[in-house]
Amino acid sequence: MMSTDTPTIVLVGHGMVGQRFLEALAERGLTATHRVVVLCEEPRPAYDRVRLTSYFSGRTPDELSLTDAGFIAAHGIELHLRDPAETIDRAARTVTARSGLTVAYDTLVLATGSVPFVPPVPGRDAEGCFVYRTIEDLLAIEEFAKARATTGAVVGGGLLGLEAAGALQGLGLATHIVEFAPRLMPAQVDEGGGAALLRTVRDLGLTVHTGTGTQEIVTGADGAVTGMRLSDGSELPTDLVVFSAGVRPRDRLARDTGLTVGERGGITVDERCRTSDPRVFAIGECALASDGRVYGLVAPGYEMAETAAATIAGTDAGFTGADLSTKLKLLGVDVASFGDAHGTTAGCLDVVYSDSRSGTYRKLVVGPDGELLGGILVGDADAYGTLRALTGSVPPIAPEHLVLPAGTGAPVALGPSALPDSAVVCSCHNVTKGTVRAAVTEHSRTTVPEVKKCTKAGTGCGSCVRVLGQLVDEELAAHGVEADHGLCGCFPQTREELYEIVLALRISSYQALLDRYGRPGARGGDGCEVCKPAVASVLASLAAVTGASGHVLDGEQAALQDTNDHFLANLQRNGSYSIVPRVPGGEITPEKLIVIGEVARDFGLYTKITGGQRIDLFGARVEQLPLIWARLVDAGFESGHAYGKALRTVKSCVGRTWCRYGVQDSVRMAIDLELRYRGLRSPHKLKSAVSGCARECAEARSKDFGVIATAGGWNLWVGGNGGATPRHADLLAQDLGDAELIRLIDRFLMFYIRTADRLERTSAWLERIPGGLGHVRDVVVHDSLGICEELDSLMAAHVRAYRDEWAETIRDPERLARFVSFVNAPGTPDPVVGFVPERDQIKPDLPLLAIGRRPLEGSAQR
């Protein structure tokens, strides 16, 4: 415990910048020499506000957290949640919180952030009006939208406005965007970029109103929102309004205590982030920097946090301004701007490439001497990392070649090697190319994760990770070290290369592949835990054309599988297994529901409806699995492949059959797709969905491939996923007929299986593969590589060869013999698998696990 005379640092606010300040204190040893007290208004510690919208794609508040509880405890930080600072007494040097807690400070740091600006229009406080700033705001919007709304409107077409619009659409609302400026994102893009963005956003099913403002929120007799009256005289019916018209610095505490505040808001600070009181600092969006700006981006806030911590530690530091470059994916559309994006420099020239068909717009601003001053990228921002780092220098190739798509005339490829060492490759943490090179050459970091840990590059917004990987490879090559991209220590080839070898030579076994193409030291061996399941997946994907056994429990294949595939079921935390029958499209007859209920009752299983429109049955012991599946197969069920790297489910809404908004039969299409791709083994699990209209109730744009109905057919979206790193899917093709839709999905899936790395989701693959979505579209739609016929035939072979794994297993005594807890006591159930009652069902008896698992003497555990 620190003594009473230990100096105290009080931090007001615990957002992203506040957390970075705490980390900077810890890095300088100040948490060991100072008492650190944090007063936080929100009910949760710092979280990733940049990725706030990913909550609507399945990311939980805990997954958004930036704060490790261990960090707070390890450094003795006193964190007070739901207890914001109310008053500051600078004479007494105390801060009083809402709870009445009063803390004396030696140093006070204000990181109070900003507040959303809500235009002073009549009705703005009506029920159904929200702002879009915190997790609690999102929870409130979600609850109201699900309970009472069918239409939503967003006031503001900037960064947060577009994110809010995407969230409302994802909640199933018909969504409008109202922007006072003549284009979307007016601060980031110019007229051309705004036009490209507008086309794409409208293609996504959102209605955009630009050049008009909000005059009044119209309410009904109950005081709830019924519409908006716009400045052009029109009225927009809506049940829900989200204000996202900008933010204002949160500087009330500073004003009340007499600190100097800018004329238009913001706490005035000097280059060391000190306010007019040298004992008080301000950082982040609440601060008016010495260059007269209030920075609304996280990277400048981080730099301010570093500056304040360094000043408190007594080291020389200064903040004189920051890079305002941004790269975002909004509504699935890449948008980036950097440098002097709007061309305000005297004598500058624009170099522009625009393709309205694909929604691509690229503009570079070039000085009279050829210096790259800035630029705007919409639709395709792959070059952002290199171009931003080149800003302020004369590029080694002509500007027109920097905006043209790959393969259309550039004499050389412009990569990170063209950057000077002083170029900043990670603006979030101000990491230069020279620092990255030093991590490789001086600190022996040879992989991107190692370099990220060493330099912090790539740990912020993530937009520089692609450039980071290229720099690491180039630096290794420059020192005669070839970057090893092999699958593992057993194979020097990538997964993609192994796929091509298996396909071309019709290799049908792992051992044959290892003996022929493995590294010399691995040949004749047993392989490893990395390559065995990866090669098993390749062999299963190509079994229909190589002649290998397609069943995962046959011969050598069985020994290659992960635990789940080994027993055709998902292993749960207490050693029991789950059963997930396939329910195509979520459509199920009463008779089949009764069978599932009877099986769950007779075997004492826990039952739960999943988010993918299936029924999970939990708690089966391994020896019960064949008995359960025998009954399910007899009732017409087949494996749902919840245990495999394969297609899981194709979710659907009820479509036009039942829904008054539906324009296509989404249930029928979902069933057709699920039955076509069932059992398709791939580098990672696959999820899909079909929505019957633009309200998107099936959440198709968060899936590996998603289908959304239009009046003219189907739109095909690819490369989306939820989970820890959510990503909206990209539009591959639109207004497709049934046959063309299925043909393009066939090709997309087979091209992905052919070229993806092990355990690589379609989302990561789409961002990694050279050329990205444009290249994939060229291959699967326009047949640019001339392989579509082969992709079609591979999928056709899979469809012909499909056999249900559980149906075949229960008919084969040899396969059934493996379903025992102990091989030398096959009738003995595992004594460690236990359950306790909860809510009229069962749950794992987890305390039993703490005793430890002890197999029966002389037995072989599974």
Contact call for residues 744 and 717 (beta carbons, < 8 A):
no
Nearest to 718 by CA among 790, 772, 654, 758: 772
- Is 464 marked within a binding site? no
Q: What are the percentages of helix, strand and coil residues in the chain, rounded to 5?
A: 35, 20, 45
> How far is C-alpha 715 from the chain's CA centre?
22
Contact call for residues 372 and 339 (beta carbons, < 8 A):
yes
The encoded tokens of residue 44 equal 């949760």
Q: In the 8-state DSSP scheme, what is residue 127?
A: B
Nearest to 744 by CA among 792, 702, 710, 696: 792
Nearest to 75 by CA among 155, 15, 13, 19: 19
CA dihedral sign of residues 515, 518, 519, 525:
negative
* DSSP-derived pairing of the beta strands 280-282 and 107-110: parallel
Please give the Cα distance from 862 to 859 (Å, whole number). Answer: 10
- Is 653 marked within a binding site? yes
The encoded tokens of residue 319 equal 């903040």
Burial class (CB in 10 A: 0-12, 13-18, 19+), 320: exposed
- Is 461 marked within a binding site? no
Nearest to 192 by CA among 311, 337, 65: 337
Please give the Cα distance from 440 to 416 (Å, whole number). Answer: 15
Contact call for residues 348 and 482 (beta carbons, < 8 A):
no
Please give the Cα distance from 687 to 534 (Å, whole number). Answer: 19
Contact call for residues 494 and 757 (beta carbons, < 8 A):
yes
Write the CB contacts of 547 (distance below 8 Å, at least 6 apart in sequence): 506, 508
Please give the Cα distance from 215 to 228 (Å, whole number). Answer: 8
The encoded tokens of residue 336 equal 């980036």
- Strands (DSSP E) along 430-520, which ranges? 431-432
**H-only helix segments in 206-332:** 252-256, 298-312
Q: In the 8-state DSSP scheme, what is residue 245?
A: S
Please give the Cα distance from 168 to 657 (Å, whole number). Answer: 24
3-state secondary structure of 690: strand
CA dihedral sign of residues 322, 324, 330, 336:
negative
Nearest to 333 by CA among 157, 491, 507, 493: 157
Nearest to 105 by CA among 86, 117, 89, 125: 89
- Is 693 marked within a binding site? yes
Contact call for residues 324 and 339 (beta carbons, < 8 A):
no
Q: Assign residue 233 a region: left if phi > 0, alpha if psi is -120 to 50, beta otherwise?
A: left
Q: What is the 3-state secondary structure of 759-779?
A: CCCHHHHHHHCCCHHHHHHHH
796: phi then psi, degrees, rounded to nearest 5: -60, -40
Separation in Å, CA 244 to CA 131, 218, 247, 311: 6, 18, 8, 35
Contact call for residues 368 and 346 (beta carbons, < 8 A):
no
Beta-bridge partner residues of 178: 155, 209
- 249-274 exposure pattern, b = at least 16 Cβ within 10 A, e = fewer: bbbebbeebebebbeebbbbbbebbb
Please give the Cα distance from 541 to 646 (Å, whole number). Answer: 10
**Binding residue numbers:** 653, 659, 693, 697
**Binding residue numbers for [4Fe-4S] cluster:** 653, 659, 693, 697
**Binding residue numbers for siroheme:** 697
